[in-house]
Amino acid sequence: MISFSNIFGFLLAIGLICGSIMMSTDNYLLFVSISSLIIVVGGSFAASLVGYSFPLVFSALKGILQNLMIEDNDMKTKHMSIRRMTEWNNTFHSGGITELENSLTEKEKKDSFIKLGIDLIGTGYKGEELQALLEESNESQSMQDMRHAEVLNTLANFAPGFGMVGTLIGLIVMLDNLSGDMAVLGKGLAVALLTTFYGVISAQLFFKPASMRVQRRVEMEAHRREMQIRAFMMMTTKRPSLHVQDHMNGYLPFNKRLED
Protein backbone atom coordinates (compact mmCIF):
# COMPACT_ATOMS: atom_id res chain seq x y z
CA MET A 1 0.00 0.00 0.00
CA ILE A 2 1.30 3.43 -0.96
CA SER A 3 2.15 5.61 2.04
CA PHE A 4 0.51 8.95 1.27
CA SER A 5 1.85 10.49 4.47
CA ASN A 6 5.43 9.80 3.39
CA ILE A 7 4.84 11.14 -0.11
CA PHE A 8 3.10 14.24 1.29
CA GLY A 9 5.91 14.87 3.78
CA PHE A 10 8.58 14.48 1.09
CA LEU A 11 6.78 16.78 -1.35
CA LEU A 12 6.10 19.30 1.42
CA ALA A 13 9.79 19.46 2.33
CA ILE A 14 10.77 19.89 -1.33
CA GLY A 15 8.10 22.54 -1.74
CA LEU A 16 9.29 24.51 1.28
CA ILE A 17 12.89 24.45 0.07
CA CYS A 18 11.97 25.43 -3.49
CA GLY A 19 9.58 28.09 -2.21
CA SER A 20 12.23 29.70 -0.03
CA ILE A 21 14.64 29.71 -2.98
CA MET A 22 12.08 31.33 -5.27
CA MET A 23 11.34 34.02 -2.69
CA SER A 24 15.05 34.74 -2.26
CA THR A 25 16.28 35.01 -5.84
CA ASP A 26 15.24 34.94 -9.48
CA ASN A 27 18.38 33.05 -10.47
CA TYR A 28 17.13 29.55 -9.73
CA LEU A 29 19.92 27.88 -11.69
CA LEU A 30 22.32 29.20 -9.06
CA PHE A 31 21.26 26.20 -6.94
CA VAL A 32 22.05 23.65 -9.65
CA SER A 33 25.54 22.16 -9.77
CA ILE A 34 26.19 18.74 -11.27
CA SER A 35 29.75 18.64 -9.95
CA SER A 36 28.56 19.32 -6.39
CA LEU A 37 25.96 16.57 -6.67
CA ILE A 38 28.58 14.12 -7.94
CA ILE A 39 30.90 14.91 -5.02
CA VAL A 40 28.16 14.39 -2.41
CA VAL A 41 26.38 11.34 -3.84
CA GLY A 42 29.41 9.71 -5.44
CA GLY A 43 31.66 10.35 -2.45
CA SER A 44 29.12 9.03 0.06
CA PHE A 45 28.53 5.92 -2.04
CA ALA A 46 32.26 5.30 -2.48
CA ALA A 47 32.97 5.73 1.23
CA SER A 48 30.20 3.31 2.15
CA LEU A 49 31.80 0.68 -0.09
CA VAL A 50 34.97 0.98 1.97
CA GLY A 51 33.09 -0.10 5.09
CA TYR A 52 30.50 -2.48 3.60
CA SER A 53 30.34 -5.10 0.88
CA PHE A 54 28.92 -4.44 -2.60
CA PRO A 55 25.86 -6.71 -2.12
CA LEU A 56 24.92 -5.09 1.19
CA VAL A 57 25.23 -1.51 -0.10
CA PHE A 58 23.32 -2.24 -3.31
CA SER A 59 20.64 -4.15 -1.40
CA ALA A 60 20.16 -1.20 0.97
CA LEU A 61 19.97 1.30 -1.90
CA LYS A 62 17.58 -0.94 -3.82
CA GLY A 63 15.06 -0.85 -0.99
CA ILE A 64 15.11 2.93 -0.48
CA LEU A 65 12.13 3.78 -2.70
CA GLN A 66 10.14 0.80 -1.47
CA ASN A 67 10.64 1.71 2.17
CA LEU A 68 9.94 5.41 1.60
CA MET A 69 6.86 5.03 -0.56
CA ILE A 70 5.25 1.75 0.52
CA GLU A 71 3.90 0.98 3.96
CA ASP A 72 1.77 -1.90 5.18
CA ASN A 73 -1.06 -1.19 7.58
CA ASP A 74 0.49 -2.68 10.72
CA MET A 75 -2.78 -3.27 12.58
CA LYS A 76 -4.56 -4.70 9.55
CA THR A 77 -1.61 -7.02 8.90
CA LYS A 78 -1.63 -8.25 12.51
CA HIS A 79 -5.39 -8.91 12.40
CA MET A 80 -4.96 -10.94 9.22
CA SER A 81 -2.05 -12.83 10.78
CA ILE A 82 -4.06 -13.72 13.89
CA ARG A 83 -6.95 -15.03 11.81
CA ARG A 84 -4.55 -17.01 9.67
CA MET A 85 -2.75 -18.50 12.68
CA THR A 86 -6.02 -19.72 14.18
CA GLU A 87 -6.76 -21.35 10.82
CA TRP A 88 -3.34 -23.03 10.93
CA ASN A 89 -4.13 -24.32 14.42
CA ASN A 90 -7.45 -25.85 13.27
CA THR A 91 -5.87 -27.38 10.19
CA PHE A 92 -2.96 -28.88 12.15
CA HIS A 93 -5.24 -30.43 14.77
CA SER A 94 -7.60 -31.91 12.19
CA GLY A 95 -5.20 -33.04 9.47
CA GLY A 96 -1.68 -32.95 10.90
CA ILE A 97 1.49 -31.44 9.49
CA THR A 98 0.86 -32.58 5.90
CA GLU A 99 -2.53 -30.92 5.78
CA LEU A 100 -1.03 -27.75 7.27
CA GLU A 101 1.67 -27.62 4.59
CA ASN A 102 -0.91 -28.11 1.85
CA SER A 103 -3.08 -25.29 3.24
CA LEU A 104 -0.37 -22.64 2.92
CA THR A 105 -0.85 -19.90 0.34
CA GLU A 106 1.81 -19.20 -2.30
CA LYS A 107 2.98 -16.18 -0.31
CA GLU A 108 3.25 -18.22 2.89
CA LYS A 109 5.22 -20.94 1.10
CA LYS A 110 7.79 -18.29 0.11
CA ASP A 111 8.07 -17.03 3.70
CA SER A 112 11.25 -18.68 4.98
CA PHE A 113 10.30 -18.22 8.65
CA ILE A 114 6.90 -19.86 8.28
CA LYS A 115 8.51 -22.69 6.35
CA LEU A 116 11.13 -23.09 9.10
CA GLY A 117 8.50 -23.23 11.83
CA ILE A 118 6.47 -25.88 10.04
CA ASP A 119 9.59 -27.91 9.21
CA LEU A 120 10.66 -27.88 12.87
CA ILE A 121 7.19 -28.97 13.99
CA GLY A 122 7.30 -31.76 11.41
CA THR A 123 10.69 -32.83 12.78
CA GLY A 124 9.17 -33.18 16.24
CA TYR A 125 10.22 -30.05 18.09
CA LYS A 126 7.67 -28.58 20.47
CA GLY A 127 7.23 -26.24 23.43
CA GLU A 128 10.25 -24.36 24.77
CA GLU A 129 12.67 -26.20 22.50
CA LEU A 130 10.75 -25.04 19.44
CA GLN A 131 10.54 -21.53 20.89
CA ALA A 132 14.30 -21.33 21.44
CA LEU A 133 15.11 -22.37 17.87
CA LEU A 134 12.63 -19.96 16.30
CA GLU A 135 13.64 -17.04 18.53
CA GLU A 136 17.26 -17.60 17.58
CA SER A 137 16.31 -17.51 13.91
CA ASN A 138 14.16 -14.41 14.42
CA GLU A 139 16.98 -12.55 16.14
CA SER A 140 19.47 -13.54 13.45
CA GLN A 141 17.14 -12.38 10.66
CA SER A 142 16.44 -9.08 12.41
CA MET A 143 20.14 -8.37 12.83
CA GLN A 144 20.72 -9.08 9.14
CA ASP A 145 17.83 -6.85 8.04
CA MET A 146 18.92 -4.07 10.40
CA ARG A 147 22.22 -3.82 8.53
CA HIS A 148 20.36 -2.12 5.69
CA ALA A 149 19.30 0.62 8.07
CA GLU A 150 22.90 0.84 9.27
CA VAL A 151 24.15 1.37 5.70
CA LEU A 152 21.60 4.12 5.04
CA ASN A 153 22.43 5.82 8.33
CA THR A 154 26.12 5.69 7.38
CA LEU A 155 25.31 7.36 4.05
CA ALA A 156 23.44 10.05 5.98
CA ASN A 157 26.55 10.67 8.07
CA PHE A 158 28.87 10.72 5.06
CA ALA A 159 26.80 13.10 2.90
CA PRO A 160 27.33 16.33 4.91
CA GLY A 161 31.01 15.47 5.27
CA PHE A 162 31.47 15.19 1.52
CA GLY A 163 29.48 18.39 1.20
CA MET A 164 32.20 20.07 3.21
CA VAL A 165 34.87 18.41 1.06
CA GLY A 166 33.28 19.95 -2.03
CA THR A 167 33.09 23.31 -0.31
CA LEU A 168 36.78 23.17 0.57
CA ILE A 169 37.63 22.30 -3.03
CA GLY A 170 35.60 25.27 -4.21
CA LEU A 171 37.24 27.61 -1.70
CA ILE A 172 40.72 26.49 -2.71
CA VAL A 173 39.90 27.17 -6.37
CA MET A 174 38.39 30.53 -5.43
CA LEU A 175 41.43 31.59 -3.41
CA ASP A 176 43.64 30.68 -6.33
CA ASN A 177 41.79 33.32 -8.36
CA LEU A 178 41.80 36.16 -5.81
CA SER A 179 43.36 38.50 -8.32
CA GLY A 180 40.38 38.16 -10.61
CA ASP A 181 36.95 39.84 -10.74
CA MET A 182 35.21 39.94 -7.33
CA ALA A 183 31.87 39.14 -8.95
CA VAL A 184 33.33 35.93 -10.31
CA LEU A 185 34.72 35.10 -6.87
CA GLY A 186 31.24 35.57 -5.37
CA LYS A 187 29.75 33.12 -7.84
CA GLY A 188 32.54 30.68 -7.15
CA LEU A 189 31.85 30.85 -3.41
CA ALA A 190 28.14 30.24 -4.03
CA VAL A 191 28.92 27.14 -6.08
CA ALA A 192 31.34 25.92 -3.39
CA LEU A 193 28.66 26.20 -0.70
CA LEU A 194 26.21 24.20 -2.83
CA THR A 195 27.97 20.96 -1.94
CA THR A 196 27.28 21.55 1.75
CA PHE A 197 23.68 22.35 0.85
CA TYR A 198 23.34 19.14 -1.16
CA GLY A 199 25.01 17.12 1.59
CA VAL A 200 22.64 18.33 4.31
CA ILE A 201 19.53 17.97 2.13
CA SER A 202 20.37 14.43 1.00
CA ALA A 203 21.13 13.35 4.57
CA GLN A 204 18.12 14.93 6.29
CA LEU A 205 15.51 14.43 3.58
CA PHE A 206 16.56 11.18 1.95
CA PHE A 207 19.03 8.89 3.73
CA LYS A 208 17.95 9.41 7.37
CA PRO A 209 14.21 8.99 6.69
CA ALA A 210 14.99 5.88 4.63
CA SER A 211 17.07 4.48 7.50
CA MET A 212 14.26 5.14 9.97
CA ARG A 213 11.75 3.47 7.68
CA VAL A 214 13.90 0.37 7.26
CA GLN A 215 14.40 0.14 11.03
CA ARG A 216 10.66 0.44 11.65
CA ARG A 217 9.90 -2.21 9.02
CA VAL A 218 12.44 -4.59 10.56
CA GLU A 219 10.91 -4.10 14.01
CA MET A 220 7.41 -4.77 12.63
CA GLU A 221 8.58 -7.95 10.91
CA ALA A 222 10.34 -9.14 14.07
CA HIS A 223 7.17 -8.53 16.07
CA ARG A 224 5.12 -10.45 13.52
CA ARG A 225 7.52 -13.39 13.76
CA GLU A 226 7.23 -13.30 17.57
CA MET A 227 3.49 -13.78 17.16
CA GLN A 228 4.08 -16.71 14.84
CA ILE A 229 6.48 -18.29 17.33
CA ARG A 230 3.83 -18.18 20.03
CA ALA A 231 1.25 -19.63 17.64
CA PHE A 232 3.54 -22.49 16.59
CA MET A 233 4.24 -23.31 20.24
CA MET A 234 0.54 -23.46 21.06
CA MET A 235 -0.14 -25.62 18.02
CA THR A 236 2.24 -28.27 19.34
CA THR A 237 0.54 -28.25 22.75
CA LYS A 238 -2.90 -28.87 21.21
CA ARG A 239 -4.43 -25.61 22.43
CA PRO A 240 -7.91 -24.63 21.12
CA SER A 241 -8.01 -21.88 18.49
CA LEU A 242 -9.76 -19.56 20.95
CA HIS A 243 -6.71 -19.81 23.22
CA VAL A 244 -4.45 -19.01 20.27
CA GLN A 245 -6.49 -15.92 19.45
CA ASP A 246 -6.50 -14.76 23.08
CA HIS A 247 -2.72 -15.05 23.27
CA MET A 248 -2.29 -13.26 19.94
CA ASN A 249 -4.54 -10.44 21.15
CA GLY A 250 -1.95 -9.82 23.85
CA TYR A 251 0.24 -8.29 21.13
CA LEU A 252 -2.43 -5.71 20.27
CA PRO A 253 -3.72 -2.57 22.03
CA PHE A 254 -6.89 -3.16 24.05
CA ASN A 255 -9.09 -1.21 21.63
CA LYS A 256 -7.73 -3.07 18.59
CA ARG A 257 -8.12 -6.66 19.79
CA LEU A 258 -10.11 -9.15 17.75
CA GLU A 259 -13.44 -10.26 19.15
CA ASP A 260 -14.46 -13.90 19.38
Q: What is the pLDDT of residues 158-180, one digit of tens each?
A: 999 999 988 888 888 777 777 66
13 pLDDT above the threshold of 90: no
pLDDT digits (tens, 9 = 90+) for 119-149: 999 898 888 899 999 999 999 999 998 999 9
Task: Give the pLDDT band of residue 67 (cuts 50, 70, 90).
Answer: low
1 pLDDT above the threshold of 70: no
Measured CA distances, 137 to 105, 228, 229 (Å): 22, 12, 10
Question: Average pLDDT for residues 40-65, to the nearest whole number?
Answer: 86
| pTM listed for this prediction | 0.80
Domain range summary for the chain, segments of one domain joined by + = 30-256
Question: Average pLDDT for residues 214-234, to the nearest whole number?
Answer: 89
Query: What average pLDDT does the chain have?
Result: 84
Which one has a higher pLDDT value, 24 or 201? 201
Measured CA distances, 32 to 28, 229, 254, 257 (Å): 8, 52, 52, 52
Question: Average pLDDT for residues 18-40, to the nearest whole number?
Answer: 84
Which one has a higher pLDDT value, 61 or 144? 144
pLDDT at residue 22, as a whole number: 84
Task: Give the pLDDT band of residue 187 (cuts 50, 70, 90).
Answer: low
Task: Give the pLDDT band of residue 183 (cuts 50, 70, 90).
Answer: low
pLDDT at residue 138, as a whole number: 94
40 pLDDT above the threshold of 60: yes
pLDDT at residue 212, as a whole number: 87
Task: Give the pLDDT band of residue 2 (cuts 50, 70, 90).
Answer: low
- Whole-number percent of the chain with pLDDT over 90: 24
